[in-house]
Amino acid sequence: MTTNEHLTRIVIVGNGMVGHHFVEQLIQQSNEVYGKNQFHITVLSAEPRLAYDRVHLSEYFSGKTADELSLTSAEHYQELGVDFQVNARVDQIDKQAKMVTIESGAVFEYDKLILATGSFPFVPPIPGNDQPHCLVYRTIEDLEAISASAKVSKVGVVVGGGLLGLEAANALKEAGLKTHVVEFAPQLMAVQVDVSGGRVLKDKIEELGVEVHTQKATQSIEAGENSRYKMVFADGEILETDMILFSAGIRPQDKLAREFGIVIGERGGIVVNDHCLTSDPDIYAIGECALWNNFIFGLVAPGYTMARAAASNIVGGDVVFEGADMSTKLKLMGVEVGSIGDAHAREHGAQTYTYEDQVAGVYKKIVINAETNKLTGAVLVGDTGDYDTLLQYALNEIDLPEFPESLILPSFGDAAPTLGADALPETAMICSCHNVTKGDIIASLDGGACDLAEIKSCTKASTGCGGCAALLKSVTDSELEKRGVEVKKDICEHFAYSRQELYHMVQIGQIKTFDELLSKHGSGIGCEVCKPAAASILASIWNDFVLEKPHVTLQDTNDTYLANMQKNGTYSVVPRIAGGEITPDKLIVLGQVAKKYNLYTKVTGGQRIDLFGARVEQLPLIWEELIEAGFETGHAYAKSLRTVKSCVGSTWCRYGVQDSVGQAIDLENRYKGLRSPHKLKFAVSGCTRECAEAQSKDIGVIATENGWNLYVCGNGGMKPRHADLFATDLDTETLVKYIDRVLMFYVRTADRLQRTSVWMENMEGGLDYLKDVVINDSLGLGAELEQQMQHVVDTYQCEWKTAVTSEQSRKRFRQFVNSEKSDANIIFVEERDQIRPATEIEIDQILGVKKPVKAAATSINIVEVE
């Protein structure tokens, strides 16, 4: 290590997720060893931007911006003392002089060089593959090209049916194209799942409207007759398309190392040892460009581990890279897929248990060793609820229960064996993104950490993908309790009670206001945590108008204005369209209102029409016009029932067996006023083809020949979860009774901002316990829960209508307290014939503010603020 007068020069080629993680690791480890950063770090990114999240790249097509995907910023690197260059592709390495040169000619000297060049998409050598609209799926620039092509295309084909291919297919589907997947192998995701799992996956994806073509070898891409191109297959068949997206795997980006004498593997990849050192003692390779033990690791977690190992070696530490678990849990196009260890049962003597539910589209397989006492692999398609437990059995070589099949069967005896926090050894990996074991958590607690927030801060556990959050909390709480520390469930510093306890206090004590609750059971003046929680509880029980004087100061911004605030300070207006059914007259009114107030208009995935860009003073005027046309609030701003999605059911569809639209409308009208701990979404499908996607909702209803199947506690969002089958072949009266009980039990017992899925998973006994409470009325609460729900139904009011008819409430809807003027800082520009909020650069240009230009701006159509 050099002295402070000459910091060791570190040059990092590549700034993907792994390259960025290396920067953070090197600075962190240097601070731990030397008390400060001992390195001069230079990052060279070939892309025009700094590191961003490739794992969630497909979210770009569902509205996430490049900035929101970003993992760092120029300001953050400046704070860390890191020099960086973008658009800086390295084209020369001088190993003797220890210098790298970028295409512009700039030269950078190094003491240690880190190659984090990643990988590039493999494009099969098919004649015609280099034509316009033949694209790849790898970078944000690729996504921009796909988006541009999608605007002038109707049909898209993805070549490749692996993990990346299915993500790419989802991107095309999100872009509105008729989508096909073409795969050379006999099945989808051949690396991760077995033949049977691949079949189930194919069926589920085709149900979503994506056509899958397996065992297809493309011979050429030629001009099409009805579309831009036609793909000619080896079997003589053709497929016409306007766009072709190649996602047939990746290849290590090893060109630079290959050209300048660094050892490369026989099939590519920069050869590294356990310290991630290459054949040159001063050059490291990490991530997808690196070949360790003749293996390329295509997941981010192993890349992060390589980054830690390389950083440790540079600072004199002893961390090494010893391979990585390639188990995967993901959700592709709404379909849950999990793969663990020896998924194909290739180990000698391996035996398997399989479970398949063809109706629900669920396939599960576990692989055990020849001695039948250890789990060595698993495949899960359609339901990954067992993934975490199975992964811990496999990673930690935990002895299997007497009946291993109980781990995947939906019900076996009293209940499937669970693996609690205490059953895990200290070597159990809790967070694979940041390599945090149970032992690391224990060490942090022994070192002084005393709550979950401190554990996250010092270990970084659950700050990556977030998938380990529940397990991390379970381990932390368990270890704290062992140390005699009371694990508090206080809602905040002002109330020494959980949300459930506060709910009972309000109900039993007949408490009607927050002030009364605070004076009887709390202290201080309240905060942004307890006030909205109390507001929700009061609304759930008494159903008073949320903008009445005792309640209005408790609400968050959205509830205060009965609309969702957007990024530029305007609001969206979302009228209720029960079941997605709307008359032509009402549809015309929505268009007239949107045109009159110049609102951005969007049809949502929940079968609603959202109107964006309303200024606060316009809200009552817009509501009045909508109310006059028969609309009411859609509660899009509230923690309450948002939507009940439906297909057209037996009324129109040849497959429908029940009137799903009528049922959806009835359910939406019944529960539309219910305030709850978190937002609620329903769906009703008219048959098991499941076009309304009911099994991804908090309450899902699917028609059968004999009635309705009820699914509960599913959700989309940040951590998607498949709903569980709760009861089958119900008549409508029983269906409504069960939903009443489930929802009101949830409202009474869930924690603040807790989704129904997490609520059920955290209950002792889970689904079986909930069934016992609701169906068997084991707690004797059934009638009471139904009565409480009926009160909510009977006291429903349209909050928009109440607001516009109250002079006191209308006073809130002004931009300025002492003026009737509008906010001149709200500026829109026109894009695709509709308005959108102007960016900061565009606002500066419009207002004539002179600032350093960061990026070239496109031509701008200014939309005047009236």
> Binding site for [4Fe-4S] cluster: what residues are annotated?
647, 653, 687, 691
**∠ CA 622-625-629 to the nearest 5 degrees?**
135
CA distance 498 to 491: 5
CA distance 297 to 314: 22
User: For the CA atoms of 197, 162, 307, 428, what is the dihedral angle to 10 degrees?
Assistant: -10
Binding residues for siroheme: 691
DSSP letters for 369-430? -TTSSSEEEEEEES--TTHHHHHHHHHTTPPPPSSGGGGTSS--TT------GGGS-TT-EE
Residue 55, classified by CB atoms within 10 Å of its CB into exposed (0-12), middle (13-18) or buried (19+), is: middle
CA distance 798 to 635: 9
Q: Which two tokens stand for residue 228?
A: 């831009």
DSSP three-state, residue 343 = coil
Specify which residues 834 forms β-bridges with: 831
Specify which residues 330 forms β-bridges with: 337
Backbone angles phi, psi at 644, to 5 degrees: -125, 100
What single-letter amino acid sits at 673? Answer: G
What single-letter amino acid sits at 821? Answer: K
**∠ CA 507-511-515 to the nearest 5 degrees?**
140
Q: Which two tokens stand for residue 716?
A: 């989309």
CA distance 842 to 50: 22
Say which residues have a Cβ less than 8 Å from residue 656's Cβ, sequence separation at least 6.
647, 648, 649, 650, 686, 687, 703
Closest CA to 275 of 321, 314, 317: 321
Backbone angles phi, psi at 633, to 5 degrees: -60, 140
Sign of CA pseudo-dihedral 811, 816, 822, 826: negative
Paired sense of beta strands 600-603 and 571-573, if any: unpaired
Q: 438 and 424 in contact (C-beta within 8 Å)?
A: yes
Binding residues: 647, 653, 687, 691
Say which residues have a Cβ less than 8 Å from residue 755's Cβ, sequence separation at least 6.
678, 698, 715, 717
Cα atoms in the 13 Å half-sphere on the side-chain side of 554: 23
Closest CA to 165 of 190, 147, 140, 131: 190
What single-letter amino acid sits at 64? Answer: K
What is the number of other CB atoms lying within 10 angstroms of the CB of residue 217? 11
DSSP letters for 695-730? GGSSEEEEEETTEEEEEES-B-SSS-BPPEEEEEEE
Residue 463, classified by CB atoms within 10 Å of its CB into exposed (0-12), middle (13-18) or buried (19+), is: middle
Closest CA to 425 of 409, 412, 440, 405: 440
List % helix, strand, coil for the chain (3-state, nearest 5): 35, 20, 45
Count the residues in the chain: 866
DSSP letters for 781-815? -HHHHHHHHHHHHHT---HHHHHHT-HHHHTT--S
CA distance 832 to 28: 46
DSSP three-state, residue 124 = coil
**∠ CA 772-777-782 to the nearest 5 degrees?**
130
